[in-house]
Chains A and B, each alone.
Chain A
Amino acid sequence: MLAKRIIPCLDVKNGQTVKGTNFVNLRQAGDPVELGRAYSEQGADELVFLDITASHEGRKTFTSMVERVAAELSIPFTVGGGINELSDVDRMLSAGADKISINSAALRNPNLIDEITTHYGSQVCVVAIDAKLEENGEWQCYVNGGRIPFGKNLFEWAYESQERGAGEILFTSMNHDGVKTGFANEALYQLSEKLTIPIIASGGAGAKEHFRDAFLLGHADAALAASVFHFGEISIRELKQYLTKENINIRP
């Protein structure tokens, strides 16, 4: 049976991880490749590296980091941030990334999804969606790192992304992100009912039980988190032991 995936996400700025870490054994705590290796050894199933650099120089640094990740790590990884056109995708895949994730650029130019998947196949294209449950009860998509409402419904956009060829949806609930009270399981469940491609849950992880609920209640295929792993609040190894005990199919 296909295993549910646990995915740590690393924010990278000018070649360094942004959030502090509690990993004591790292030679260089801020080095994304070292951190990625530590996660891989703990049992992470995939990694996501998000480039949050704005400058041209920073982008070049990120590309060389991607090359190092590809050379040194032996698990799949996705890169995102700053991917606006096909040439950006080409640069990331040539550097060795297995998948790319696109967010605002896809909402602004949905055709980008078709272009990417026609050229490289659906499996490389992760569409990341930041969405917020508004007071009127509707899930709305946001762009620019969750700063600007886009006026598109989460479920409609996720479905459109799938129909355009997206291989996976990475859904971050802005209501849950950073609150550490669990993932947006109701919305996740609706997504998984509506779509036939894998859904990655993001935003809200604070305890091991939250991952279990994302899988059992939200029917997510994978769960992504950042700070609970970076700050050592949850170790991936212990999390996986817990989920296995809860009868969730997990790669040890």
Chain B
Amino acid sequence: MNVAVIDYNAGNIYSVIHALERLGINPTLTNVPEQIISSDKVIFPGQGEASSAMAYLRERNLDRVIKELKQPILGICIGQQLMCAHSEEGNVDCLGIFDVPVLRFQPQRHEDKVPHMGWNALEDVKSSLFQNFDGGEYVYFVHSYYVPVCDWTVAQTEYIVPFSAALHRDNFYSTQFHPEKSGSVGEQILKNFLAL
């Protein structure tokens, strides 16, 4: 299987590549539109800052390429946020695949630490990404901004507020958490994505 991992100067994409390699996939790290368009599956990973990431994508016309993809694509962490309409981080318009804004966590109590970092549970799971999941599975998060629960939410997690742990529309999938760092649960999610 031909898997493209979009290279857009985001941090720590090697953990995604390693995770795919553990599943026997040899992915291509690329920012070349033709390579992305011709692959069977696309992963849009990363850590980073939204406005600089969007600027990088626009400079290379990758914003249009991503929006027009027909094969399954999985956005991870900032990848999910960039697939939404607008982000409070850097106050930037994003790809608009999911028509929902990205907001910053607002702590309500002293215990509400931002970033939300660590293992938290998935609830209300309803996507082929989570086939045979019961809800309650723990996955690893590191983020300060979140996508509210919306029409495309296919898994929720509660931290300060309930938010979208995963989204799905047509061929577009995304997770706020890092499946590549989420032990065997994360591995199963990546397997499910690759099997789509």
Contacts and interface: CB of A to CB of B under 8 A. Distances in A.
A197 B110 CA distance: 10
Contact of A3 (B19, B21, B118, B186): B118
A96 B47 CA distance: 13
Contacts, number: 76
B110 A2 contact: no
Interface string A116-154: 000011110000000000000000000000000000000
B50 to A, nearest CB: 13
Interface in A30-81: 40, 45, 70-72, 74-76
Given A98-B181, A197-B113, A251-B138, A45 B14 contact: no
Contact of A196 (B18, B107, B140): B107
Given A93-B12, A221-B118, A75 B181 contact: yes
A251 B118 CA distance: 10
B19 A74 contact: yes
A217 B18 CA distance: 39
Contacts of B115: 122-123, 167
Interface string A89-101: 0000100101000
Contacts of A40: 183
B142 interface: yes
A198 interface: yes
Contacts of A74: 19, 22, 180-184, 186-187
B116 interface: yes
A230 interface: no
Contact of B118 (A45, A71, A72, A122): A45
A210 interface: no
Contacts of B187: 74
A75 B121 CA distance: 16
A24 interface: no
Interface in B12-40: 12, 14-15, 18-19, 21-22
A196 B118 contact: no
A34 to B, nearest CB: 16
A98 B118 contact: no
B135 interface: no
B134 to A, nearest CB: 12
Contacts of A120: 11
Give the interface SS of chain A, mostly helix, strand, loop or mixed: loop
Contact of B119 (A2, A71, A93): A2
A98 B110 contact: no
A198 B186 contact: no
Contact of B15 (A1, A2, A96, A252): A96
B88 interface: no
Contacts of A252: 138
Contact of A98 (B15, B120, B158, B182): B15
A40 B121 CA distance: 18
Contacts of A76: 140, 181
A243 to B, nearest CB: 13
B117 interface: yes
Contacts of B138: 3, 251-252
Give me the 7 closest cross-chain CB pairs, A-B, nearest first: A251-B138, A251-B119, A3-B119, A71-B18, A123-B142, A76-B181, A2-B120
Given A1-B158, A70-B18, 16 more contacts: A2-B120, A3-B118, A3-B119, A3-B121, A45-B119, A70-B14, A71-B18, A71-B21, A74-B180, A75-B182, A76-B140, A98-B12, A98-B181, A120-B11, A123-B115, A167-B115
Interface of B: 11-12, 14-15, 18-19, 21-22, 47, 107, 110, 113, 115-121, 138, 140, 142, 158-159, 180-184, 186-187
